[in-house]
Structure 1
Amino acid sequence: MRNERLREAIRASGLAITELGGAVGVNGKTAQRWVYEGRTPRRKTADRVSRRLGVPVDWLWPAITGPDTGPDNQPRDFVRLYAHRAEAPRQLWHELMRGAKSSIDILCVTGLFLVEDNPSVDDLLARKAEDGVPIRLAMAHPTSPALRRRATEQQLIGALAARARAAISYFEPLTAIPGAQLRTHNLTAYSSIFRFDDDLLLNHHLFGVQNFLCPLLHLRRETEGGLFDLVTDAFDRFWIAAMPADPE
C-alpha cells in the first residue's frame, strides 16, 4: 500500500524520492519502497526524514513507535488539547509566563488577549526581562497584506489592524529593557506560538474562525527532535523573516 502522506510531503519539499534517500543516508530504492510499498524505516531514519521534510514523524508513519512516543502512541511532548483557546484556564498562561527562566517566545497576530485576560502582563514581562529572561515577540504588521486578508476572512475589516497597532504600542516599551525584542511580520501565521521555557501553547488558525475559538495544544519538551522542537524551529524561521517593530 502506498504511503500517500510521505509522497505528498516529498513533493511539497521539492525533492525527488531518490534525492530524499540520499539526504537521509539511504539509497534511492529504499526510499522508493517507503513510498510505493508502504514500508516503515527504522526509527532513527524516520526521524531524519521527518526533520528533512519538516513534517511530524508520526504523521508520515502513524504506526511508528519509538523514543518520542508514549505507550498510547501519543507524542511524548503532548500534554493536552483544548478544543478552543478560550477553554484554557487563565491561570495556565500566567503560571507558564511567571515560571519562565530561560526563554519567552511569542508569535501571534496581535496578542491583545494576553492583556485583556491579564492587564498586568506587561509588568510581568518587564520583570522577566529585567531578571535576564530573553523575550522575543513577533506580531503582525498593521498594514501587511496578510493581515488585511485575514481580517477579510474573519469579517474584522479595520478592527484587526487597529488591534495590531494597539498591541505594538502596548508591548513596544518592553524593548527598552535589554534582552526584550519586538518584531513585526508580513507573513501568514498558520498558528500562534507561545513558548515559556520547555512548555509551549500552540493556537491553530482556522479559516473564517477567530483565534479564541480555534484549538489550543499544550506541548512540553520531552524528546529531542520531537513535536515541540518542530514548532520552535518554525518560530525561529519566522523570527528571522520578521523586522523591527514599526506600527506604521
Structure 2
Amino acid sequence: MSNATQTDRWTDSPRARWLAVAVYAVAMAWVESAVVLYLRTLTQRLDPATTTPLPPLERVTEAELVREAATLIMLGAVGWLAGRDRRTRAGYGLLAFGLWDIFYYVFLKPLTSWPRSLLDWDVLFLLPLPWWGPVAAPVSVALLMVLWGSLVTQLPPQRLQRSPPGLVWVLTALGVVLALYVFMADAIRVAPQGRQALQNLLPTRFNWLLFGCAWLLMATPVLHLLIQLTRRQPAQPTASQPE
C-alpha cells in the first residue's frame, strides 16, 4: 500500500475527523473570547455580574443576537460536514459546541482575568432571553456534549444500536427543557416588565437542585452508550475449515 493511500485513509478516518472538528472548535473559541473581550472593554464590564450587566446599546445588542445565531449555525455546519449519517453529524456538532464552550472560558481567563472561579455568574446566551448561570453549569453540560459526541463518532457502528430507545430521547429532551428553564428562569420572571428590566437583571441564586436533575436527564444518552459498551459482544462466527 502506498504512502499516499495510507495518508488518504487516515485523513478520512473518524479519528482525523474528530481532530479536525476539535481544532476548528478551539479556534472558534479563541475568536469568541476575543469578541467578548472587545465587547466588555467597550462597555467597561469585564465582569458581567455588575450593575446593568446588559448595557442599552441597541445596535450592538442586535448585532450580538445575530452573531450568536451565526455561531450556532457554524458549529452545526461543521458537524454536518464531518459526519456521515444523522448520528455522527449530531455527534460532531455537539463535540464542536462542547469544546467551543469549554475553551471559550479557558481563553477568556488570560484575556480578561475572568472568571475568577467556576462559580462566577455569566450571561451565557441572549436568545431568546438572557441565560444566566455560574460558569460551572454550562461547562458541565459541555462536558456531556464532548463525551457523547466522541463516543458516537469514534466507536465502530457494530458496537452501537441502530437507534437508542425512545425513552432515552424523551428523558434527554426533558433534561434540556429543565436546564433551559433554570438558565432563563429569572429572565422569564422579569420579561413582562420590558427590555429595561432584562437589561438590569442580575440573578444571585442558582437552582442547583433542579439543574442537577436536568443534568442527570441529559446524561441519559451517555449512560446508555456506556451500558452498551459493558455488554459482552457476541462472538463472530469463524469460517469452517475444509476437511
TM class by smaller structure: under 0.3
TM-score normalized by structure 1?
0.21
* Structure with greater strand share of residues: 1
Q: Between Structure 1 and Structure 2, whose CA radius of gyration is higher?
A: 2
Q: TM-score, normalised by structure 2?
A: 0.21
Which of the two has greater helix per residue? 2
